[in-house]
C-alpha cells in the first residue's frame, strides 16, 4: 500500500532544505512554556488548561497538522510536479496512502513528543502517554481531513483555518452540537481517558470520539483517492 | 570585403513625461488595496476576503438589530473590533500572503526594483495597502452600526453624542489594522508559499494567547496586569481599555505601558520588514 519512493520524496519536500525549521518553533514553545510554568510554581491544573489544552490541542496540533497535511499534496499541486507522480504506473490509492502516512508520522512526532514532555512536566508519565496517544489519533483524523481538502479546493489552508478557528474554536464554545464534528474534542476526550486524568475532560464520549476519528481518517482518505482518480491538471488561475 | 550597414529602422527614445517614484508607489498601494479584496481578480480570489468581511457585517447587523429591540447598545463602537478579532485574523491570513508571497514566489521582485521604485517604497506601499484594507474591513461594519444608532436615537444632541462614541471605534479599528496588518505582512514576507504563509500568520496570533493565561496564573498582581503584553491580540485590547474603556483586560494603572508596547511592536515590525526587503533578492 505504501510506496517507499513516494514517501521519501514527500518527506524530503516537507523537511528538505530549511523547511523543517518552520515546524520547530511551535513544539519548542509548548515544551518551554510547560517547563517554565512548572518551574515558577504554576499548579498542574493551570498548566493543563493553558499549555496542554489551549496551546497544545487548540493551536499547535491543528496548525502543524494543517501545514503538514495540506503540504504533502498541496505543494505538489501548486508546483505542478504532481503530474510527474500521476504519470507513473501507480494506483492512485498508493499515492494517497503514502502521502497520508508521511503526514501522520510527521505530525505525530512533531506534536506528540512535546506533548508527552508537557504531560510529564504537568503530571505523570501516564498523562504524557495519554497526550501522546491523543496527538497520534488527532494526527490521523486531521491529516485525513486536510489531505482530502487539498484535493477538493485550491485554497485548502484557508478552508482548514476556517474549520479550526471558526468551527472548532468559536462554534465549539457557543453551540454544543458542533462538538460532535470537532476533531479537537475527540483528541481531548481520548487523551483524558488514556491519561487517566481529571485535569481536563472532553465534551464528547470516548466511544463517539473513536468512531468519529476513524470516520474522519477513512472518509478523508477515500475521498482523496476518489478525487485524485479524476484529478484534472489545470494551470494556476487566480 | 565587409559591407555592413546599420539601417535606421525607426526606433525612438521615449520622450514623454516620466511619472517617477511617487506615482509608482501610489499605483502599487492602490493595486495592493484592490488585491486584498480580490478586486480585478478571479471570483475565487474574492471568496475569502468577502466572506470574512461579510461575516463582520452580519455581526454588526445583528448587534444593530438587538440594539433597536433593547433600546440601548449591547456593544460599544470601540468594543466591536475586539469582538471580531478572529475574523480580522482570518482576513489578514488571506490578504497578507496574497500581497507579498505571490511576488516572492513568482520571482518578480527584480522587475519592481529595476524601476525608480525603491525597496523601502515597495515594503511601505504593501504595508499601507494591507493596513488600509483591514481598517476598511473593520470600519465598514462600524459605519453600519452608526447608521443604525443614529436612526434609533432622537434629537440632534443625541446624534452628536452617538458620533462622539463612534470616533473611538474608528481609532480602535485603526489600532487593530496597524498591529494585525504589520505583523501578518512581516510574517508573510518570510514565506514564499501562500498556503504556508497563511497558516503561520494565524499561528502567530493564536499561539501567543495562551501565554497570557500562563503568566496571569503564575505571576503576582503586577504580573497579572502586565500579562496581556505577551500577545499582540491582548496588547491592542489593553490599549483600548486604557484609552477608550473597552471591556477587556484590567490594565490600570499600566495603560501607558500598553500604549508604549504597541508603538514598539509596530516600529519593530516596520524595521524588520524594511530589513527583510533590503536583503531579499527574489
The Cα of B195 is separated from the nearest Cα of chain A by a number of Å equal to: 6
Q: What is the DSSP string of chain B?
A: ---------------S---HHHHHHHHHHHHHHHHHTTTTS-HHHHHHHHHHHHHHHHHHHHHHHHHHHHSS-SS-GGGHHHHTHHHHHHHHHHHHIIIIIHHHHHT-HHHHHTSS--HHHHHHHHHHHHHHHHHHHHHHHHHHHHHHHHHHS-SHHHHHHHHHHHHHHHHHHHHHHHHHHHHHHHHHTT-SSHHHHHHHHHHHHHHHHHHHHHHHHHS-HHHHHHGGGGSHHHHHHHHHHHHH--SS---TT-HHHHHHHHHHHHHHHHHHHHHHHHH---
pLDDT beyond 80 at A17: no
pLDDT for position B191? 84
pTM of the model: 0.90
Q: What is the pLDDT of residues A69-126, one digit of tens each?
A: 998 988 888 888 888 889 989 999 999 999 999 999 999 999 999 999 999 988 888 9
pLDDT for position A234? 67
pLDDT confidence of A238, banded at 50, 70, 90?
very low
Q: What is the pLDDT of residues A126-145, one digit of tens each?
A: 999 999 999 999 999 999 99
Task: Give the rounded percent of residues in chain A with a pLDDT score beyond 90.
Answer: 49
Q: What is the pLDDT of residues A188-214, one digit of tens each?
A: 999 999 988 888 888 889 999 999 999
Q: What is the pLDDT of residues A155-190, one digit of tens each?
A: 899 999 999 988 888 888 788 788 889 999 999 999
pLDDT for position B255? 86
The answer to whether residue B223 neighbours chain A at the CB level (below 8 Å) is no
- The domain spans of chain A are 4-229
The Cα of A219 is separated from the nearest Cα of chain B by a number of Å equal to: 23
pLDDT for position A80? 81
The answer to whether residue A187 neighbours chain B at the CB level (below 8 Å) is no
Asked whether the beta carbons of residue A43 and residue B217 sit closer than 8 angstroms, the reply is yes
B150 grid coordinates: 443614529
Name the domain count of chain B.
1
* Contact indicator for B209, B175 with CB cutoff of 8 Å: no
The answer to whether residue B45 neighbours chain A at the CB level (below 8 Å) is yes
Tell me which of B160 and B192 has the higher pLDDT: B160
Tell me which of B62 and A154 has the higher pLDDT: B62
Task: Give the rounded percent of residues in chain B with a pLDDT score beyond 70.
Answer: 99
Mutate to test the interface with B, among A165, A166, A200 (most CBs of B within 10 A): A165
Instruction: Let me know if residue B141 belongs to a domain.
Output: yes
**Which residues of chain A lie closer than 8 angstroms to B206, CB-CB?**
58-59, 63, 165, 169
Instruction: Let me know if residue B193 belongs to a domain.
Output: yes
pLDDT for position B147? 92
Give the whole-angstrom CA distance, residue A167 versus residue B206.
15
Q: What is the DSSP string of chain A?
A: ---HHHHHHHHHHHHTTTTHHHHSHHHHHHHHHHHHHHHTT--HHHIIIIIIIIIIIIIIHHHHHHHHHHHHHHHHHHHTTHHHHHTSS--HHHHHHHHHHHHHHHHHHHHHHHHHHHHHHHS-HHHHHHHHHHHHHHHHHHHHHHHHHHHH-S-HHHHHHIIIIIIIIIIHHH-GGGGGG-HHHHHHHHHHHHHT-SSS--SS-HHHHHHHHHHHHHHHHHHHHHHHHT--------
Instruction: Let me know if residue B237 belongs to a domain.
Output: no
* Contact indicator for B209, A60 with CB cutoff of 8 Å: no
Q: Is the ipTM of this complex over 0.85?
A: yes
Mutate to test the interface with B, among A26, A115, A158 (most CBs of B within 10 A): A158
pLDDT confidence of A236, banded at 50, 70, 90?
low
The answer to whether residue B41 neighbours chain A at the CB level (below 8 Å) is yes
Domain interval for residue B45: 21-207
**Which residues of chain A lie closer than 8 angstroms to B217, CB-CB?**
37, 42-43, 46, 50
Task: Give the rounded percent of residues in chain B with a pLDDT score beyond 90.
Answer: 51
pLDDT for position A23? 78
Question: Which of A49, A60, A70 is the closest to B195 by Cβ?
Answer: A70
Give the whole-angstrom CA distance, residue A63 versus residue A61.
6
**Which residues of chain A lie closer than 8 angstroms to B194, CB-CB?**
157
Over residues B216-232, the mean pLDDT reads 82
Tell me which of A122 and B124 has the higher pLDDT: B124
The Cα of A129 is separated from the nearest Cα of chain B by a number of Å equal to: 23
pLDDT for position B127? 96
Instruction: Let me know if residue B163 belongs to a domain.
Output: yes
Q: What is the pLDDT of residues B62-93, one digit of tens each?
A: 999 998 888 888 888 999 998 899 999 999 99
For chains A and B, CB pairs below 8 A equal 99
Q: Which residues contact A166 (CB under 8 A, 6 or more apart)?
A: B86, B90
Among the residue ranges A163-172, B29-38, B127-136, the one predicted with the least confidence is A163-172
**Which residues of chain B lie closer than 8 angstroms to A166, CB-CB?**
86, 90
Report whether the peptide linkage leading into residue B253 is cis, meaning its omega lies within 30 degrees of zero. Answer: yes
pLDDT beyond 50 at A54: yes
Q: What is the DSSP string of B110-153?
A: HHHHTSS--HHHHHHHHHHHHHHHHHHHHHHHHHHHHHHHHHHS
pLDDT confidence of B139, banded at 50, 70, 90?
very high
Asked whether the beta carbons of residue B196 and residue A71 sit closer than 8 angstroms, the reply is yes
Asked whether the beta carbons of residue B206 and residue A154 sit closer than 8 angstroms, the reply is no
pLDDT beyond 80 at B102: yes
pLDDT for position B6? 83
Give the whole-angstrom CA distance, residue A42 versus residue B276.
38
**Which residues of chain A lie closer than 8 angstroms to B98, CB-CB?**
none
Amino acid at each position: 500500500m505504501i510506496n517507499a519512493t513516494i514517501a521519501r520524496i514527500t518527506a524530503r519536500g516537507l523537511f528538505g532544505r530549511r523547511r523543517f525549521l518552520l515546524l520547530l518553533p511551535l513544539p519548542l514553545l509548548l515544551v518551554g512554556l510547560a517547563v517554565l510554568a512548572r518551574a515558577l510554581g504554576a499548579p498542574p491544573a493551570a498548566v493543563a488548561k493553558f499549555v496542554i489544552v489551549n496551546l497544545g490541542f487548540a493551536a499547535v496540533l491543528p496548525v502543524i497538522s494543517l501545514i503538514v497535511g495540506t503540504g504533502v499534496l498541496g505543494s505538489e499541486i501548486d508546483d505542478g510536479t504532481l503530474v510527474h507522480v500521476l504519470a507513473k504506473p501507480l494506483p492512485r490509492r498508493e499515492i494517497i496512502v503514502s502521502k497520508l502516512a508521511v503526514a501522520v508520522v510527521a505530525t505525530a512526532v512533531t506534536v506528540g513528543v512535546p506533548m508527552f514532555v508537557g504531560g510529564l512536566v504537568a503530571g505523570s508519565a501516564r498523562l504524557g502517554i495519554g497526550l501522546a496517544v491523543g496527538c497520534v489519533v488527532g494526527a490521523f483524523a486531521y491529516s485525513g481531513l486536510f489531505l482530502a481538502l487539498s484535493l477538493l479546493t485550491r485554497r485548502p489552508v484557508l478552508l482548514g483555518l476556517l474549520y479550526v478557528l471558526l468551527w472548532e474554536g468559536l462554534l465549539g464554545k457557543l453551540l454544543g452540537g458542533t462538538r460532535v464534528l470537532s476533531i479537537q474534542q475527540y483528541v481531548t476526550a481520548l487523551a483524558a481517558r488514556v491519561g487517566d486524568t481529571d485535569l481536563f475532560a472532553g465534551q464528547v464520549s470516548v466511544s463517539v470520539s473513536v468512531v468519529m476519528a476513524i470516520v474522519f481518517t477513512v472518509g478523508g482518505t477515500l475521498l482523496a483517492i476518489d478525487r485524485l482518480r479524476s484529478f484534472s491538471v489545470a494551470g494556476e488561475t487566480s | 570585403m565587409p559591407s555592413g550597414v546599420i539601417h535606421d529602422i525607426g526606433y525612438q527614445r521615449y520622450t514623454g513625461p516620466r511619472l517617477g517614484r511617487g506615482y509608482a508607489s501610489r499605483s502599487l498601494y492602490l493595486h495592493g488595496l484592490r488585491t486584498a479584496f480580490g478586486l480585478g481578480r478571479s471570483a475565487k480570489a474574492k471568496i475569502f476576503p468577502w466572506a470574512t468581511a461579510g461575516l463582520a457585517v452580519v455581526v454588526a447587523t445583528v448587534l444593530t438589530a438587538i440594539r433597536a429591540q433593547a433600546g440601548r447598545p449591547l456593544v460599544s463602537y470601540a468594543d466591536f473590533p475586539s469582538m471580531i478579532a478572529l475574523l480580522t485574523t482570518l482576513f489578514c491570513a488571506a490578504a497578507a500572503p496574497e500581497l507579498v508571497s505571490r511576488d516572492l514566489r513568482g520571482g518578480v521582485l527584480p522587475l519592481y526594483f529595476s524601476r525608480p521604485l525603491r525597496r523601502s517604497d515597495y515594503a511601505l506601499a504593501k504595508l499601507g495597502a494591507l493596513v488600509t484594507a483591514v481598517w476598511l474591513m473593520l470600519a465598514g461594519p462600524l459605519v453600519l452600526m452608526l447608521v443604525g444608532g443614529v436612526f434609533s436615537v432622537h434629537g440632534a444632541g443625541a446624534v452628536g453624542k452617538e458620533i462622539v462614541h463612534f470616533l473611538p471605534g474608528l481609532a480602535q479599528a485603526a489600532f487593530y489594522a496597524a498591529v494585525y496588518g504589520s505583523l501578518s505582512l512581516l510574517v508573510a514576507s518570510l514565506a514564499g508559499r501562500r498556503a504556508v504563509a497563511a497558516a503561520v500568520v494565524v499561528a502567530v496570533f493564536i499561539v501567543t494567547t495562551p501565554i497570557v493565561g500562563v503568566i496571569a496564573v503564575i505571576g503576582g498582581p503586577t504580573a497579572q496586569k502586565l500579562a496581556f503584553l505577551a500577545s499582540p491580540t491582548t496588547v491592542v485590547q489593553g490599549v483600548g481599555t486604557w484609552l477608550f474603556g473597552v471591556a477587556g483586560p484590567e490594565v490600570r494603572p499600566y495603560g501607558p505601558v500598553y500604549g508604549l508596547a504597541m508603538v514598539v511592536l509596530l516600529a519593530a515590525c516596520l524595521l524588520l520588514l524594511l530589513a527583510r526587503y533590503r536583503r531579499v533578492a527574489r
